[in-house]
């Protein structure tokens, strides 16, 4: 392994690339930049910002992150061909520390069915990809896709070839989540025995969670010598997802004496970062999710509570504060002042500018007029909405809802557009949510297919705020929206309007791109994502 601290494990975050590939998790450019900044604050070593050739939007996101985010290495993915690698390089070249990540499948199944290539062609193409990348960038990672299902001898041959060609990191993916810890650790041991010069490159691991073993397999690889873990926030990713960053980072920290390694993760930033990604992707964090789920530090049984009262170590192997979970039962209300509000926001892990905080304090006061007691969940929802809500041309000025158990509902609403229009709409339908959707469709002239609609409460009590989350489809793309209010129908209206605003933002971006950008090098091929 190259110089520096041999016990330091690099955290390579691929939330913005592999994570974003999971259905319904796509993010706008502004959202990706927001996540990248949060990842930098969290202390990740590498941010894989995207797959630049996949689409114009991906290229632009990688480029923006490369130009604006300082600290971590910024990586971009490319297949082993010149067009991909050059597109990735153009997007990355302004980064403080760019990395080209090239990949090629090596397993018999992929060789036969996907690539239709013989072993020697695979080796030739992998070597060529690494060489093209090395001519452009000093930091080159190579991944033999589906490594865990590749014949060991052939895998070692490929790894030997790319090490000789100049790869600086060799990543071993368990692409389909097939391996088990012991087997995976033997694979690493095999490579270490059979590849000359492997000690001069960084060995990395990239696991998927199809059998629920992504974290365990990644940890086994670390025991066997891997010094980079590829993972995602909340474990989002293709199918069952990727190795979850928060879990693997806390496993290494909590069991440091067993693993004998450490990471640079600021663990107190875990909870706010996970919340942010959950809010942006619309993928709720399950209550029982390890590390950051609502129940992760809750003790229900009497015996456990009794033990906890004696000493927290009886039933807790980590402290909630260690992962940035400082939720309390502290209640704020309409008499709480700006100072108390500011302190609570800070304790919950959010860092806001004065102007943002003042604006939020006004919203907090307005909410406190409607709702007696405000809990941490309410405050988080306020901040999250301000930070992640899709700004767009439409906003809801007013809404009135009438509905009866007889099966009819009427909604009257007023929408305001940034161009100065105010549109009033009155619509009746079978139920109130249906009426809201139809009224907004009629007012904005946009129609979408509703795919999923959920409501849950963000805090406790009869007057708790409800959060509406919805997913829709429009022109073959899926969009998410969320809205919070003490009135769940109003929450649904906000969520639906957020979706409409996202669609408008996509149209505006597409319009800008179509309008030319004459200095763009090439039009990336959008079909490639489905090719990997
Ligand atoms: O799962 C996988 O094999 C990948 C590679 C592109 C690293 O995501
Ligand atoms: Zn993957």
Quick: pLDDT tens for 107-137: 999 999 999 999 999 999 999 999 999 999 9
18 CB under 6 A from ligand 1? Answer: yes
Read off the pLDDT of each residue in 469-496 and give the average, rounded to a whole number.
88
pLDDT at 244: 98
Could you tell me which of 163, 142, 144, 162 has the C-alpha nearest to residue 152? 144
427 CB under 6 A from ligand 1? Answer: no
* Residue scoring higher pLDDT (460 or 222): 222
User: How many angstroms separate the alpha carbon of residue 17 from the centre of ligand 1?
Assistant: 10
Return the SS3 of 525: coil
Per-residue pLDDT for 243 more than 60?
Answer: yes
**CB of 424 within 8 A of CB of 432?**
no
pLDDT at 3: 58
Q: At what angle do helices 338-347 and 354-370 cross, to 10 degrees?
A: 110
Per-residue pLDDT for 492 more than 60?
Answer: yes
Per-residue pLDDT for 519 more than 70?
Answer: no
Rounded to whole angstroms, the Cα distance separating 121 from 129 reads 12
Could you tell me which of 370, 268, 395, 394 has the C-alpha nearest to residue 319? 268
Read off the pLDDT of each residue in 500-523 and give the average, rounded to a whole number.
53
Counting DSSP H helices and E strands in the chain, the numbers are: 17, 14
Average per-residue pLDDT for the chain: 89
Share of the chain above pLDDT 90, in %: 64
- Phi and psi dihedrals of 60, rounded to 5? -65, -40
* Residue scoring higher pLDDT (224 or 349): 224
175 CB under 6 A from ligand 1? Answer: yes
Per-residue pLDDT for 518 more than 70?
Answer: no
- Phi and psi dihedrals of 22, rounded to 5? -75, 145
Atom of ligand 1 nearest to the CA of 242: 1
Cα–chain-centroid distance for residue 111?
Answer: 30
pLDDT in tens, 36-72: 999 999 999 999 999 999 999 999 999 999 999 999 9
User: How many angstroms separate the alpha carbon of residue 207 from the centre of ligand 2?
Assistant: 7
**CB of 219 within 8 A of CB of 248?**
yes
**CB-based burial, 317-337: b 16+ in 10 Å, e otherwise:** ebebebbbbbbeeeebeeebe
Atom of ligand 1 nearest to the CA of 171: 7
Q: Are β-strands 169-174 and 140-145 bridged in parallel, bridged antiparallel, or unpaired? A: parallel
Residues with Cβ within 5 Å of ion ligand 2?
18
**CB-based burial, 235-269: b 16+ in 10 Å, e otherwise:** bbbbeebbbbbbbbbbbbbeeeeebebebebebeb
Rounded to whole angstroms, the Cα distance separating 165 from 162 reads 5
pLDDT at 282: 81
Q: Which of 118-127, 379-388, 405-414 has the lowest mean pLDDT?
A: 379-388
User: How many angstroms separate the alpha carbon of residue 146 from the centre of ligand 2?
Assistant: 9
- Phi and psi dihedrals of 264, rounded to 5? -100, 15
Helix (H) or strand (E) holding 186, with range, is helix 181-194
Helix (H) or strand (E) holding 203, with range, is strand 202-207
User: How many angstroms separate the alpha carbon of residue 105 from the centre of ligand 1?
Assistant: 9
Could you tell me which of 491, 450, 493, 452 has the C-alpha nearest to residue 474? 450
Rounded to whole angstroms, the Cα distance separating 287 from 295 reads 5
**CB of 403 within 8 A of CB of 432?**
yes
pLDDT at 527: 36
Per-residue pLDDT for 531 more than 80?
Answer: no
Give the residue, by CA position, lying nearest to ligand 1 atom 5.
Answer: 145
pLDDT at 515: 33
Read off the pLDDT of each residue in 185-212 and give the average, rounded to a whole number.
98
The pTM (predicted TM-score) of the whole model is 0.85
Rounded to whole angstroms, the Cα distance separating 502 from 13 reads 26
110 CB under 6 A from ligand 1? Answer: no
174 CB under 6 A from ligand 1? Answer: no
Tokens of 61: 């996101």
Q: Which of 143-157, 236-250, 306-320 has the lowest mean pLDDT?
A: 306-320
Read off the pLDDT of each residue in 1-6 and give the average, rounded to a whole number.
74
pLDDT at 301: 75
Q: Could you tell me the pLDDT band of residue 440, with boundaries at 50, 70 and 90? A: very high
**CB of 250 within 8 A of CB of 297?**
no
Per-residue pLDDT for 525 more than 70?
Answer: no
Per-residue pLDDT for 460 more than 90?
Answer: no
| CB neighbour list of residue 380: distance below 8 Å, 6 or more residues apart | 275, 348, 458
Q: Where are the alpha helices (DSSP H) in 197-238?
A: 214-223
pLDDT at 389: 66
Rounded to whole angstroms, the Cα distance separating 221 from 12 reads 15
Tokens of 225: 């010598």
pLDDT at 392: 79
Tokens of 12: 């390579």
- Phi and psi dihedrals of 298, rounded to 5? -95, 140
Q: Which of 28-42, 69-83, 388-402, 496-510 has the lowest mean pLDDT?
A: 496-510
Per-residue pLDDT for 245 more than 70?
Answer: yes
Q: What is the DSSP string of 388-419?
A: HS---SEEEEEEEEEEETTTEEEEEEEEEETT
pLDDT at 114: 96
Tokens of 116: 């239709």
Tokens of 97: 């520390």
**CB of 416 within 8 A of CB of 394?**
yes
Per-residue pLDDT for 157 more than 60?
Answer: yes
Most confident range, picked from 235-244, 276-285, 314-323: 235-244
For the chain, percent helix, then strand, then coil, each to nearest 5? 45, 20, 30
Q: Which of 124-128, 178-182, 481-485 has the lowest mean pLDDT?
A: 481-485
């Amino acid at each position: 392994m190259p110089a520096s601290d041999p016990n330091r494990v690099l955290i390579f975050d691929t939330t913005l690339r592999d994570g974003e590939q999971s259905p319904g998790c796509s993010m706008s450019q502004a959202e990706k930049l927001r996540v990248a900044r949060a990842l930098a604050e969290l202390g990740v070593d590498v941010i894989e910002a995207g797959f630049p050739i996949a689409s114009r939007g991906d290229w632009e996101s990688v480029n923006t992150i490369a130009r604006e985010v300082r600290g971590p290495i910024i990586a971009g993915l490319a297949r082993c061909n010149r067009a991909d690698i050059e597109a990735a390089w153009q997007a990355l070249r302004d980064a403080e520390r760019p990395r080209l990540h090239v990949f090629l499948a090596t397993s018999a199944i992929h060789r036969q069915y996907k690539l239709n290539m013989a072993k020697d062609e695979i080796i030739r193409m992998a070597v060529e990809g690494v060489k093209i990348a090395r001519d452009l960038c000093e930091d080159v990672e190579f991944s033999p896709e589906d490594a865990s299902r590749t014949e060991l001898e052939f895998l070692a041959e490929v790894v030997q070839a790319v090490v000789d060609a100049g790869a600086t990191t060799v990543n071993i993916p368990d692409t389909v989540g097939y391996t088990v810890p012991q087997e995976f650790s033997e694979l690493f041991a095999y490579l270490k025995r059979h590849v000359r010069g492997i000690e001069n490159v960084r060995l990395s691991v990239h696991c998927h969670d199809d059998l629920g073993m992504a974290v365990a397999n990644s940890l086994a690889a670390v025991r066997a010598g891997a010094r980079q873990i590829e993972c995602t926030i909340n474990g989002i990713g293709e199918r069952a997802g990727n190795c979850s960053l928060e879990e693997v980072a806390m496993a290494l920290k909590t069991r440091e004496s067993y693993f004998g390694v450490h990471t640079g993760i600021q663990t107190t930033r875990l909870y706010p970062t996970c919340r942010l990604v959950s809010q942006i992707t619309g993928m709720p964090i399950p209550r029982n999710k390890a590390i950051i789920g609502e129940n992760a530090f809750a003790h229900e049984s009497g015996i456990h509570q009794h033990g906890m009262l004696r000493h927290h170590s009886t039933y807790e192997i980590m402290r909630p504060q260690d992962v940035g979970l400082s939720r309390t039962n502290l209640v704020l209300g309409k008499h709480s002042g700006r100072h108390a509000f500011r302190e609570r926001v800070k304790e919950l892990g959010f860092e806001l500018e004065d102007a943002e905080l003042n604006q939020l304090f006004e919203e907090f006061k307005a909410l406190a007029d409607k709702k007696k007691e405000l809990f941490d969940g309410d405050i988080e929802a306020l901040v999250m909405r301000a930070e992640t809500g899709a700004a767009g041309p439409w906003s809801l000025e007013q809404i009135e809802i009438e509905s009866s158990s007889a099966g009819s509902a009427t909604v009257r609403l007023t929408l305001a557009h940034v161009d100065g229009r105010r549109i009033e709409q009155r619509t009746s339908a079978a139920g109130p949510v249906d009426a809201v959707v139809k009224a907004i469709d009629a007012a904005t002239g946009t129609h979408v297919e509703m795919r999923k609609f959920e409501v849950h409460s963000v805090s406790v009590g009869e007057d708790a705020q409800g959060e509406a989350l919805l997913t829709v489809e429009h022109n073959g793309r899926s969009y998410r929206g969320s809205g919070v209010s003490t009135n769940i129908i109003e929450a649904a209206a906000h969520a639906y309007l957020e979706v409409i605003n996202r669609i408008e933002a996509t149209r505006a971006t597409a319009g800008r791109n179509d309008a030319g950008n004459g200095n763009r090098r090439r039009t990336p091929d959008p079909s490639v994502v489905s090719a990997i």
